[in-house]
Amino acid sequence: MPQPLIERYRRWLSLDEGDPVVTLNEGSTPLIHSPRLSERLEADVHLKLEGANPTGSFKDRGMTVAVSRAKGQGAEAVICASTGNTAASAAAYAARAGLRGAVIVPEGKIAVGKLAQALMHGARVIALQGNFDEALAIVRELADRNPVELVNSVNPWRIEGQKTAAYEVCDELGEPPDALAIPVGNAGNVTAYWAGFQDYEASPVLYGFQAAGAAPLVEGHPVEQPETVASAIRIGNPARWEEAMNAFTASRGRVAAVSDDQILDAYRWLASSEGVFCEPASAASVAGLLAHGMPVADGAEQPRSVVCVLTGHGLKDPDTALGKAPAVINCEAELDTVERAVFS
């Protein structure tokens, strides 16, 4: 049985010995070879399937550490702003720890699976008439005013836990990859990967991708009204802006934008060609590599081995999937008719 990531990588995480371990056996997610993407990119490409975490996204890595710490310090409640996955994860780990949970999400802008998760885990779900950036500003103030632990990625323990994905990539490949492609929203995850690689004295080129309608890091200024089909990364003013830009610079990588059409093409292609169903935001990493290739700094070598981080599971967002997939074929329960429907 896989070990909880806190046990697997405890030596790298500055947790207190006395802290409880609040875990759902997160981490140790599959790193699978992608033959078709390798062919298209003329490199050796692996996909890191973070949708295989207990609540279906990478957020569980940070949440096990942040909630363990919160519990160890006597917190009774956790709170976050979220485009959906953080909410689902915070709600699950709060339930596991016996803490109360509250999540603030942009009204009508989170995928239905994530909403179901947060509600089922017993969190109080508040749908804000505003976007993620406004929600985050509000929860930061709420956490200052009330005895509640903020578990957004501004919480350093979230980053600590998420570093473990970089450790796993290196451990699994036997060496660090030459490059890593990752979708960027609030910019916590790319910050965490870079910190993790640095712990391992590794320095892959980081390629970050934002949705074109929500690409503040690419444009160099906050975006007031971010818009994209990839609701998880519909963010106009990332909290970890500077850390992320430092990571791109230090790794000699870059951040670029991909259109919603490019995201949806990659999303469908991964599902139908590689058998991997991720959510639209996750497909931004593949869309970005396909659209932009892997540009390198002057004199640097072209990356040979590349890891693409697929941050969340496709089942999170059935509405987008069904909106893009071919129609179902309805049929009477009669042999010849079914035969025609199957084989015609």
Residues found near ligand F0G in the complex (CB under 6 A): 57, 59, 82-86, 153, 183-189, 232-233, 279, 281-282, 311-312
For residue 195, list its beta bridge partners. none
Q: Which is nearer to ligand F0G, 44 or 245 (CB)?
A: 245
Q: Which is nearer to ligand F0G, 131 or 153 (CB)?
A: 153
Backbone phi, then psi, for 150, in 5-degree steps? -80, 125
Q: How far is the CB of 199 from ligand F0G (least distance, A)?
A: 18
Instruction: Find the DSSP H helices in the chain.
Output: 5-8, 35-41, 59-72, 85-97, 112-120, 132-145, 156-162, 164-173, 188-199, 216-219, 241-250, 260-269, 280-292, 318-324, 335-343
Q: How far is the CB of 323 from ligand F0G (least distance, A)?
A: 18
Q: How far is the CB of 302 from ligand F0G (least distance, A)?
A: 26
Q: Which is nearer to ligand F0G, 189 or 262 (CB)?
A: 189
State the DSSP code for 328: P
Quickly list DSSP for 185-253. Answer: SSSHHHHHHHHHHHHTT--PEEEEEEEGGG-HHHHTS--SS---S-GGG--SS-TTHHHHHHHHHHTT-
Q: How far is the CB of 165 from ligand F0G (least distance, A)?
A: 11
Cα–Cα dist 191/98, whole Å = 29
Q: Which is nearer to ligand F0G, 70 or 184 (CB)?
A: 184
Q: How far is the CB of 195 from ligand F0G (least distance, A)?
A: 12
Cα–Cα dist 294/187, whole Å = 20
Cα–Cα dist 215/217, whole Å = 6
Q: Which is nearer to ligand F0G, 228 or 311 (CB)?
A: 311
Q: How far is the CB of 305 from ligand F0G (least distance, A)?
A: 22
Single-letter code of the amino acid located at 342: V
Q: How far is the CB of 272 from ligand F0G (least distance, A)?
A: 20
Q: Which is nearer to ligand F0G, 4 or 183 (CB)?
A: 183
Q: Which is nearer to ligand F0G, 44 or 151 (CB)?
A: 151
Tokens representing 321 are 């999937």
